[in-house]
Amino acid sequence: MRATVGRVLVLAGIGLVLAGLVWAGKLPLFRLPGDLRITRGGWVIHLPLATCGLLSAVVSLALYLLR
């Protein structure tokens, strides 16, 4: 039980640090090479394909470690 709580706290801390880095603009999330940005006239469409793939892999790894 205590080991699980410890893992959750460590992963939550890592998640908060990563979220802070993304928020501050230090990590290039939403600007990865596989992300698409389409600009037509006054419209801008942003499709973060590579970012979604990366975040999916990170969340999958975190859930695997918790299991």
d(CA 61, CA 65): 6
Going along 1-67, which residue ranges are E strands? 36-40, 43-47
Structure tokens at 53: 């793939």
Count Cβ neighbours within 10 Å for each residue of 46-65 and write b for 16 or more, e otherwise: eebebbeeeeeeeeeebeee
Domain-by-domain residue ranges, the chain?
A: 2-66
Q: 0.95 cut: is pTM over it?
A: no
Structure tokens at 3: 């080991």
pLDDT grade for 9, boundaries at 50, 70 and 90: confident
Structure tokens at 63: 């859930």
The answer on pLDDT for 2 being more than 70 is no
- 30 near 46, Cβ under 8 Å? yes
The answer on pLDDT for 25 being more than 70 is no
